[in-house]
Amino acid sequence: MRMVEKRLGLIVNPVAGIGGRVGLKGSDGAEIQKRALELGAVPQSLNRAIQALERIEAVDGLEVITYPGEMGEDAARPCGFQPTVIGSIKPGETTPEDTMNAAREMRRLNVKLLLFAGGDGTARDIYSAVGEGLPVLGIPAGVKIHSAVFGTNPLNAGDLAALYLQGKASSLREAEVMDIDEEAFRQGIVSAKLYGYLKVPFQRRLLQGLKTPSSPREQAAMAAIAADVVSKMEDGWLYIIGPGTTTRAITSRLGLDKTLIGVDVVAEGKLITADVTESQLLRLLEGRKAKIVVTPIGGQGCIFGRGNQQISPKVIREVGRDNIIVVSTTGKIHSLRGQPLWVDTGDREVDEMLSGHVRVVTGYNEQIVYRVSW
Amino acid sequence: MAQQDITKHRYTNGKPNLRRFHQARWDEPIIFELSCEGQRGILVPEVEVGIRDEIGDVLATLPENMRRKQLPKLPELSQPQVLRHYVRLSQENLGADLNVEIGQGTCTMKYSPKINDQLASHPKLAELHPLQDEETVQGILEIMYRFEQMLKEISGMDRFSLQPAAGSAAIYANVSIIRAYHESRGEAGQRDEFITTIFSHPSNAACAQTAGFKVITLYPDEDGYPDLDALKAAVSERTAGLLITNPEDTGIFNPRIEEFVRVVHDAGGLCVYDQANANGILGITRAREAGFDLCHFNLHKTFSSPHGCGGPGAGASGVTEELARFLPVPLVEFGGERYYLDYDRPDSVGKLRPFYGYVPVVLRAYAWVMSLGAEGLREVAEIAVLNNNYLLNKMLEIPGVSAPYAKGKRRIEQVRYSWEELAQETGVHSEELGIRAADFGIHYWTSHHPFVVPEPCTLEPTESFSKDDLDEYVAIMEHVANEARTNPELVKTAPHNSTIHTIDHSPLDDPSQWAMTWRAYRRKVGREKGWHSRGKIAPQRTSYCVKR
């Protein structure tokens, strides 16, 4: 008998991705799921979960804890696992509550990692159930993948999970949970919201040999960025600090709290207003010089228009292109694989003004010149 | 009767058989553990009575504060023990003299002819003292002077300093020269930004930062070439200069290099050509013709001096006539009859190394150039490029490997490959492939930062390796890639035939564990924890010596 040394929690959202192939732009809600099935959609998430689990099979001493049937058991068994099955479901009629209950139960059972197959909606459900209470990793299986909590494909998610379970990738980072309003999206309007952060395993590029030391860890890199931005702050200016963990490092250096998923305004080293709205920003800007500090969303590179809509086209115009400070760790830039940063403010003129080449602060006295498109 | 082919057993279907290599394993302790009190390599005879009476106690002539309070804690061993120890360690190794050393791309691991080592260790050089009168060292001054003339010819530059001890030291010198230049024009405070590209060697960015400048790094354009529009967006009245490697670490030659130089000159900046590795362009292109103001060569790369496991090396720094007054001191001058060291250069950025710099490295490089001549240098470049493109073609025949950027174009002297496709398919990563290759007597290291190319390895075959060597290397790569598909666990658990297993790199990724200086070590590890503090020796170690 194998010694059980670590527990893996597995949740499959059986309806994730069902709307994609039939052009429904998402799978949220029972009505849409029914329509998708009528249109001939075939569930994707089970197969994708199996692809990832096959990469984890070789991990010694692993106990898989999962929900019955289509919510995980059906993926674990074909991969050779003898999972501990908990909870109960109504087959064919699973709900977000099932996902949330499963996540809570797995946290209680102290799993080392919660692996889930789904999309942004599933990530949101898990976030609202357990927050940053345990390490989580997504197998991309949904239509909408705007969150940064997913592996780039099921195989990579499986590899990363295996490395984490074996203790070979031990660090965690906070990754964005994003979602867009599906109803608006079906009408052609993108309205993305940042819901919060999940703790996900971080694969430092440990597979690079090291002739010289590699780039510093994410945390150290963020501290260096913060040191750069803070050292160049001037009295008499307002600093509009966008959401994110990289920008949070800046307020931390000033000794201030940060609204992680909101926009805060700082001046003379003090917090002026936390979690501002667009109209509050416009009022604050009257007769004041200001700079905007933003960071791209991990893995997709959006700098304006996703999760920071408070910094509206009007606010951007007021502040001016030259007063925008984009900050990012080099790791986040390299993960874009050469794809440009992008903006989608909803105002074409502003998008055009922002596109071209931008200087991105990547460390203390370090910048990268990078393309921005719209 | 037909003559028997005695090499037949080394090939199967025209392909070389894989070597059945196994590294030596000696379980050799560190030398301090071998120490045994009273053992000696040489017994120095007592001073004769007559001499002692005449001279007295020699140690008494040393000032009190220069005398050790305690004897140095040196290991005590006999000569054959020392010899065995180091020969054993040298066998637990996969060094340049043992394997087909093409897996250390960007390092230019060419063969360093042994005769040049013999020249450098000849008493005529080895017994010179740097404080000798110039009249008595005319020979070595002449060699330094003549070698500078050669570098001028190779680069098109007007003056060289042989002072810098490494490539990074030369880049630092060049950055200092540019600061002095802008200071002389009253623009020192204003011009505080250096521009580089992401695939220029990272020493460029590091040196400019160390010298207190801001560094702006350009990302490549969609085709993987240095992005001219990004450069135009980056230059301003704050631009101090451009630090650029060409060909870049990907082996791609910048087709717009002259425009790069022009854009930076138009903005008032100076341009430095990083020619640490000039192996693919010797005798073919020159820094000066592309419009550069400064350049540097690593004598331990292009010019065949051994790398010596991190030194000593030499980085020669070259400049135009206009910048010559800022070069480090001393320069070697020739007065018509005798050679001399010129320290009287008031605008110089100062001294980089004690005395002359690393003279033995210069001598080896000089001997190497003299043995080849101008045509030979060009042939070096031609063969290095031919080898590289032959290897590129053979490597790309292996399923799962690619050469990102500049698709379909040839490369100069090296290629940064990507095993991403194979890793996706098998879950076996580049580092694991490189380590598994060590089981067949070769290896590669993945690549230095920036970590842009996924699952990388950088191969640089230089001119020193034959077609057979390259074929053997590719055959091993092909075999290992195939193993990743058929038996991934075998690859992931490699090496199986080496002295040691894998080591933990993670501390290198954590700045809180770095200690670049003694002061940093004391701060991070703490005064009491540091075993050097208060003259204490290391914690008690097991002794291999039986006490009598």
Question: pLDDT digit string (tens) for B448-483?
Answer: 877 889 899 999 999 999 999 999 999 999 999 999
Check residue A12 and give its pLDDT.
96
* Mean pLDDT of all residues belonging to chain B: 90
Averaged pLDDT for residues B15-40 = 89
- Asked if the model's pLDDT at residue B279 lies above 60, the reply is yes
User: How far apart, in Å, do the first and last CA atoms of chain B sit?
Assistant: 69
Choose the closest CB to A214 out of B214, B508, B512: B508
| Average pLDDT over every residue of A271-278 | 94
The sign one gets for the Cα dihedral B280, B286, B292, B296 is positive
Tell me what pLDDT residue B537 has: 40
A209 touches chain B (CB under 8 A): yes
Average the pLDDT over B230-254 and give the result: 96
Rounded Cα distance between B508 and A364, Å, is 19
State residue B533's pLDDT score: 39
Whether B228 contacts B258, CB under 8 Å? no
The region of weakest confidence among A265-274, A345-354, B64-73, B208-217 is: B64-73
**Unique residue bearing structure tokens 């009505």:** A31
What is the pLDDT at residue A331? 83
Band (pLDDT 50/70/90 cuts) for residue A26 is low
Q: Contact at 8 Å (CB) between B94 and B23?
A: yes
**Are A369 and B431 an interchain contact pair (Cβ–Cβ within 8 Å)?**
no
CB atoms within 10 A of CB A1: 3
**CA–CA gap between residue B53 and residue B453 (Å, rounded):** 72
In terms of average pLDDT, the best of A12-16, A296-300, B129-133, B268-272 is B268-272
pLDDT > 70: what percent of chain A? 90
Chain-chain contact of A208 with B449 (C-beta, under 8 angstroms): yes
pLDDT at B331 over 60: yes
Tell me whether A173 touches chain B (CB under 8 Å).
no
DSSP for residue A67: B
CB-based burial of residue B443 (10 Å sphere; 0-12 exposed, 13-18 middle, 19+ buried)? buried
- Note the pLDDT of residue B546: 45
Lowest mean pLDDT among B372-386, B445-459, B518-532: B518-532
The mean predicted confidence, pLDDT, of chain A is 87
Residues A49 and A12: beta-carbon distance below 8 Å: yes
A338: tokens are: 């050469």
Asked whether residue B73 carries a pLDDT value surpassing 50, the answer given is: yes
Beta sheet of A84-85, edge-to-edge order: A84-85, A62-66, A6-12, A113-118, A136-140
Determine the Cα–Cα distance for residues A322 and A273; give it in Å rounded to an integer: 23
ipTM for the complex? 0.86
Handedness of CA B506, B512, B517, B519 (dihedral sign): negative
- On the question of a cis peptide bond just before residue B360, with omega within 30 degrees of 0, the verdict is no
- Both tokens of residue A369? 């010149």
- Which spans in B64-194 are helix H? 79-91, 114-120, 123-126, 138-155, 167-184
Which two three-digit tokens encode residue A289?
A: 């010089």
SS3 B48: coil
Give pLDDT, residue A4.
58
Distance (Å, rounded) from C-alpha B70 to C-alpha B66?
12
Length reported for chain A: 374
Q: What is the DSSP string of A116-182?
A: EEE-HHHHHHHHHHHTTSS-EEEEE-SS---SS-B-SSHHHHHHHHHHHHTTSS--EEEEEEEEE-H
Of A209, A220, A337, the CB nearest to B434: A209
pLDDT tens per residue across span B261-276: 999 999 999 999 999 9
User: How high is the pLDDT of residue B231?
Assistant: 98
Please check the confidence at residue A214 and state whether its pLDDT lies above 90.
Answer: no
Higher pLDDT, B523 or B295: B295
Taking the CA of residue B505 and the nearest CA in chain A, the distance in Å comes to: 7
Task: Establish if B512 touches chain A: CB-CB under 8 angstroms.
Answer: yes
Residue B506: closest CA among chain A residues belongs to which residue? A206
Q: What is the arithmetic mean of pLDDT over B126-148? A: 96
Closest CA to A95 of A129, A61, A64, A132: A129
Phi then psi for A332, rounded to 5 degrees?
Answer: -70, -40
Give yes or no for B209 touching A (CB within 8 A).
yes
Q: How near does any CA of chain A get to the CA of B452, in Å?
A: 5
The mean pLDDT of B509-531, rounded to a whole number, is 72
Find, in chain A, the residue whose alpha carbon is nearest to that of B209.
A365
| Location of structure tokens 């120490």 | B35
Contact call for A210 and B233, based on CB within 8 A: no
Instruction: Give A308's contacts (C-beta < 8 A, 6+ positions apart).
Output: A194, A242, A243, A263, A294
Say which amino acid occupies B388.
Answer: N
Is the pLDDT at B330 greater than 50, yes or no?
A: yes
Question: In chain A, what is the greatest distance between 2 CA atoms, to the nearest angstrom?
Answer: 73
Q: How far is CA A137 from CA A120, A148, B182, in A?
A: 12, 10, 52
Those residues with Cβ within 8 angstroms of residue A188's Cβ, 6 or more apart along the chain or in another chain: none
pLDDT at A116 over 90: yes
Cβ distance A343 to A208 under 8 Å?
A: no
Q: Cβ–Cβ of A159/B431 closer than 8 Å?
A: no
Residue A32 or A242, more confident: A242
Closest CA to A165 of A25, A278, A283, A52: A52
Q: Percent of chain B scored above 90 by pLDDT? A: 72
Q: Closest approach of chain B CAs to the CA of A360, in angstroms?
A: 9
pLDDT confidence of residue A39: 75
DSSP A374: -
pLDDT score of B1? 52
Domains and CATH numbers, chain B: 24-41+73-92 (no CATH), 123-369 (3.40.640.10)
Confidence at residue A188, expressed as pLDDT on a 0 to 100 scale: 58
Helices (H), A182-244: 182-186, 218-231
* Strand A237-241 versus strand B294-298 pairing type: unpaired
- Residue-wise pLDDT tens digits, A325-373: 999 998 889 888 888 999 988 888 999 999 999 999 999 999 999 999 9
Structure tokens at A60: 């010694």
Question: Among B205, B452, B511, whose Cβ lies nearest the Cβ of A220?
Answer: B511
Lowest mean pLDDT segment, chosen from A245-259, B64-78, B505-519: B505-519
- By DSSP bridging, strand B415-418 and strand B456-459 are antiparallel
Q: Which of A169-173, B8-12, B433-437 has the highest mean pLDDT?
A: B433-437
**Which backbone phi and psi does A241 adopt, to 5 degrees?**
-100, 115
Report the candidate in B391, B392, B399 with the shortest Cα–Cα distance to residue B478. Answer: B399
A59-71: average pLDDT: 92
Average of per-residue pLDDT across A182-194 = 67
Q: Which of residues 457-496 of B touch A (CB under 8 A)?
A: 489
Q: What is the mean pLDDT of residues B59-75?
A: 88
Chain A residues near residue B449 by CB distance under 8 angstroms = 208, 212, 214-215
Among A344, A356, A234, which residue's Cα sits nearest to residue A296? Answer: A344
For residue A193, pLDDT beyond 70? yes
Contact residues, chain A, for B222 at CB < 8 Å: 338
Closest CA to B208 of B170, B183, B185, B175: B175
> Angle formed by the axes of helices A45-54 and A154-165, to 10°?
40
Q: Measured between alpha carbons, how far is B46 from B39 in angstroms, rounded to an integer?
A: 17
SS3 of residue B95 by DSSP: coil
What is the mean predicted confidence (pLDDT) over B74-84?
Answer: 95
Q: Which of B215, B218, B445 sits opposite A209 (nearest CB)?
A: B445
The CA-CA-CA angle for residues B531, B534, B536, to 5°, reads 45
Q: Which residue has the higher pLDDT, B411 or B536?
A: B411
Q: Which of B234, B451, B452 sits opposite A214 (nearest CB)?
A: B451
Distance of CA B178 to the CA centre of its chain: 24
Interchain CB distance below 8 Å, A208 and B213: no
B380-390 confidence digits (pLDDT tens): 999 999 999 99
B36-42: which pairs have CB atoms within 8 A and are 24 or more residues apart? Answer: B36/B76, B36/B77, B36/B543, B36/B544, B36/B545, B37/B76, B37/B545, B38/B76, B39/B76, B39/B77, B39/B78, B39/B81, B39/B545, B40/B76, B40/B78, B41/B77, B41/B78, B41/B79, B41/B82, B42/B79
Q: Are B530 and B524 in contact (CB under 8 A)?
A: no
d(CA B365, CA B371): 10
* pLDDT band at residue B527 under the 50/70/90 scheme: low
- Does position A209 have pLDDT exceeding 50, yes or no? no
Q: Is B527 on the interface with A (CB under 8 A)?
A: no
The per-residue b/e assignment along A156-177, b for 16 or more CB within 10 angstroms, e otherwise, is: bbbbbbbbbbbeebebbbbbbb
Q: Does the pLDDT at position A37 exceed 80?
A: no
Which site among B449, B453, B487 would you substitute to test the A interface, given the most A Cβ atoms closer than 10 Å to its Cβ?
B449
Report yes or no: A159 at the B interface, CB cutoff 8 Å.
yes
pLDDT at position B542 over 80? no
Contact criterion met (CB below 8 Å) for B208 and B175? yes
Top-ranked range on mean pLDDT: pick from A186-195, B383-392, B443-452? B383-392
Q: Which one, of A303, A291, A369, A357, lies nearest residue A330 by Cα?
A: A369
- Which structure tokens are listed for B406? 């500049």
Out of B214, B222, B489, the one facing A365 most closely (by C-beta) is B214
Cβ-defined contact of B512 to A220 (cutoff 8 Å)? yes
Q: Is A335 on the interface with B (CB under 8 A)?
A: no
The reply to whether residue B446 touches residue A207, judged by beta carbons under 8 angstroms, is: yes
Amino acid code (one letter) for B402: S
Pull the structure tokens for residue B129.
């003292």
Mean pLDDT is lowest, of A158-167, A204-213, A335-344, B173-182, for A204-213
Residues of A in contact with B512 (CB under 8 A): 220
Contact call for A357 and B233, based on CB within 8 A? yes
Confidence at A25, pLDDT banded by 50, 70, 90: low
Of residues B352, B305, B361, the one with CA closest to residue B164 = B352
In which residue are the tokens 């804890």 written?
Answer: A65
Reported as a pLDDT band with limits 50, 70 and 90, residue B328 is very high
Contact yes or no for B329/B317 (Cβ under 8 A): no
CB distance B165 to B357 below 8 Å: yes
Give the tens place of pLDDT for each residue, A123-159.
Answer: 999 999 999 889 999 998 887 777 888 887 788 889 8
Predicted confidence band of residue A22 (pLDDT cuts 50, 70, 90): low
Q: Taking residues B266-291, report their average pLDDT.
A: 96
Q: List all residues 6 or more positions away from A299 whose beta carbon is below 8 Å from its beta carbon.
A: A148, A150, A152, A335, A336
pTM: 0.82
Q: Are A182 and B478 in contact (CB under 8 A)?
A: no
pLDDT bin (cut points 50, 70, 90) of residue B548 is very low
Q: Give the tens place of pLDDT for each residue, B393-433.
A: 999 999 999 999 988 889 999 999 999 999 988 989 999 99
Q: Whose structure tokens read 């416009």? A: A282
Q: Which of A164-178, B245-259, B333-347 has the lowest mean pLDDT?
A: A164-178
pLDDT band at A216 (very low <50, low <70, confident <90, very high): low
Which residues on chain A are in Cβ contact (under 8 Å) with B495?
none
